[in-house]
């Protein structure tokens, strides 16, 4: 197993408690401090250092792509030796915000987000034209659990 | 080429106003880590702190904002493996089964997505995370047992490499 970064107890506590429900109030850090029985500055310092060491990528709203516009999960099947080249072509589209190589016949999986359905459709067509590969288009029909973070095991 | 575009979901689209959009742009890379982050945003956008908070509340109520969070980098924390598990379950059971899978603590996303027969028979997606192969395998076994006879076939697509990852980027 790869070595993982160490996070102190306060850091763990803050991440566990605030993967959702970061206060939308005038003084969010003070609210957190009150809840944890600490000084506000201690919380700000802790979160700042977590962010500086890139353990926390950001503090803020997580947007729902589906509702902030239109999006879909798309996959293409590419010969392994062309994967990097095709991935680069796909990544050049600003509308692509996640792209993973996965072990499967469909080996390139990416999320396309656009301002509306027309824009999305146009973008998918453009990606197909650019790469020359057919897209498996898998838009979300229903969400049963939408990215509320997941339980971390700190051991 | 398959006729994928006809399957696009319609409706359910939120049209943020100009100011909402500015707020999205201003916050998508994170809030300033100061005592009054929403006040700082307000000053940046030339509106009041109250308005920032109430607009963000409205976007959250509308589901445009899923959550406001301290967002950890799972990779940094050792969660380097994610398995996209895909399942073929009876359509009339999908809601019940989807909710069961979605409530598992190691599942971060669980979605119903369309089949594309014959190439793609799967209609239920659950993203499973772990720090080791064993951890992920155990999670998959849990799902297999949970679905029981309703599992008509499944596959697990492990991430090999992240080729691009950015948060939502709405242009100014």
What confidence tier does B160 reach under pLDDT thresholds 50, 70, 90?
confident
Same domain, A94 and A115: yes
Range of lowest pLDDT (A71-75, B14-18, B109-113): B14-18
On whether residue A101 sits in a domain, the answer given is yes
What's residue A146's pLDDT? 61
Q: Is residue A58 part of a domain?
A: no
Q: Which of A62-76, A106-120, B27-41, B108-122 has the lowest mean pLDDT?
A: A62-76
Give me the CATH number covering residue A89. 3.30.70.3460
Contacts A–B by Cβ distance under 8 A: 297
Give domain status of residue A85, yes or no: yes
Distances in whole angstroms, Cα of residue B113 to Cα of each of A3, A17, A137, A139, B86 = 36, 31, 9, 6, 10
pLDDT at residue B97 above 80? yes
Residue A106: is its pLDDT beyond 70?
yes
Q: Are residues A76 and A13 in the same domain?
A: no
Residue B148 at interface with chain A, using a CB cutoff of 8 Å: no
Whether residue A134 sits in one domain with residue A69: yes
How would residue B12 be classed by pLDDT, with cut points 50, 70 and 90? very low
| CB-based contact B116:A73 (threshold 8 Å) | no
pLDDT digits (tens, 9 = 90+) for A128-143: 999 999 999 999 998 8
Identify whether residues A29 and A88 lie together within a single domain.
no
Query: Are A33 and A98 contained in the same domain?
Result: no
| B51/chain A closest Cα distance in angstroms | 11
Q: Which residue has the tokens 């100061």?
A: B34
pLDDT interval class at A23 (50, 70, 90)? very high
Angle A110-B81-B146 from CA coordinates, rounded to 5°: 95
Same domain, A89 and A130: yes
For residue A123, tell me if it sits in a domain.
Answer: yes
Q: Flag whether residue B116 sits within 8 Å of chain A, measured between CB atoms.
A: yes
Distance from CA of B157 to the nearest CA of A (A): 6
Question: Same domain for A33 and A79?
Answer: no
**Is residue B153 within 8 Å of residue A84, measured between CB atoms?**
no
Report if residue A102 sits inside a domain.
yes
Question: pLDDT tens-digit profile of A32-57?
Answer: 999 999 999 999 999 999 999 999 99
**A133 shares a domain with A83:** yes
B38 part of contact set with chain A, CB < 8 Å: yes
Q: Which residue has the higher pLDDT, A67 or B31?
A: B31
Query: Residue A43 corresponds to which tokens in the numbers above?
Result: 């919380």
Is the domain of A42 the same as that of A81?
no
Asked if A48 and A93 sit in the same domain, the reply is no
The pLDDT value given to residue A65:
67
Domain with A33, as residue range(s), is 9-52
CA of residue A76 relative to chain centroid, distance = 20
> Which residue of chain A comes nearest to B116, CA vs CA?
A136
Tens digits of per-residue pLDDT, B52-91?
999 999 999 988 898 999 999 888 888 888 899 999 999 9
Residue A69 within a domain: yes
B139, B163, B167: which to substitute to probe chain A, counting the most A Cβ within 10 Å?
B163
A142 to chain B: nearest residue by CA? B112
In a domain, A153, yes or no: no
Bigger pLDDT: B75 vs B102: B102
Least confident of B12-16, B90-94, B161-165: B12-16
- Domain tally for chain A? 2
Q: What is the mean pLDDT of chain B?
A: 86
- Per the CB < 8 Å rule, is B2 touching A136? yes
B116: pLDDT confidence band, cut at 50, 70 and 90? very high
pLDDT of residue A4: 58
Minimal Cα–Cα distance from A94 to chain B, Å?
A: 8
A44/A85 same-domain check? no
**CA of A104 to nearest chain B CA: how many angstroms apart?**
6
pLDDT (0 to 100) of residue B44: 95
Contact state of B63 with A65 under an 8 Å Cβ cutoff = no
A47 shares a domain with A87: no
Collapsing DSSP to helix, strand or coil, A39 comes out as: coil
Q: Is residue A152 part of a domain?
A: no
Q: Inter-chain contact A70–B99, Cβ cutoff 8 Å? A: no
Residue A66 pLDDT class (50, 70, 90 cuts): low
CA-CA-CA-CA torsion sign (A121, A124, A129, A132): negative
Both structure tokens of B17: 């106003």
Q: What is the pLDDT of residue A6?
A: 82
pLDDT at A5 over 60: yes
pLDDT of res. B120: 96
Averaged pLDDT score across all residues of chain A: 91
pLDDT at A64: 80
């Amino acid at each position: 197993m790869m070595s993982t970064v160490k996070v102190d107890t306060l850091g763990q506590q803050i991440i566990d408690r605030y993967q959702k429900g970061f206060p939308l109030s005038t003084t969010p850090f003070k609210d957190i401090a009150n809840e944890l029985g600490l000084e506000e500055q201690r919380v700000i310092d802790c979160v700042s250092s977590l962010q500086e060491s890139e353990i926390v990528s950001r503090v803020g709203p997580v947007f729902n792509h589906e509702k902030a516009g239109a999006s879909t999960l798309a996959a293409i099947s590419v010969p392994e030796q062309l994967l990097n080249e095709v991935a680069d072509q796909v990544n050049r589209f600003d509308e692509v915000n996640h792209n993973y190589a996965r072990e499967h016949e469909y080996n390139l999986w990416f999320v396309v987000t656009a301002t509306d359905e027309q824009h999305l459709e146009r973008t998918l067509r453009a990606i197909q034209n650019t790469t020359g590969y057919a897209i498996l288009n898998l838009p979300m029909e229903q969400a049963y659990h939408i990215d509320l973070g997941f339980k971390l095991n700190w051991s | 080429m398959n006729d994928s575009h006809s399957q696009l979901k319609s409706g359910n689209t939120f049209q943020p106003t100009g100011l909402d959009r500015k707020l999205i742009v201003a916050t998508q890379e994170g809030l300033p880590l100061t005592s009054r982050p929403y006040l700082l945003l307000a000053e940046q956008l030339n509106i009041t702190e109250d308005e920032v908070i109430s607009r963000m509340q409205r976007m959250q109520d509308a589901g445009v904002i899923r959550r406001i969070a301290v967002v950890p980098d799972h990779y940094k924390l050792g969660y380097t493996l994610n398995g996209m598990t895909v399942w073929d379950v009876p359509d009339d059971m999908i809601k019940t089964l989807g909710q069961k899978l979605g409530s598992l603590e190691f599942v971060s996303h669980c979605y119903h997505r369309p089949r594309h027969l014959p190439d793609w028979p799967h209609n239920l997606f659950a993203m499973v995370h772990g720090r080791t192969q064993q951890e992920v395998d155990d999670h998959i076994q849990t799902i297999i047992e949970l679905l029981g006879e309703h599992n008509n076939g499944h596959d697990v697509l492990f991430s090999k490499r992240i080729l691009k990852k950015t948060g939502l980027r709405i242009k100014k």
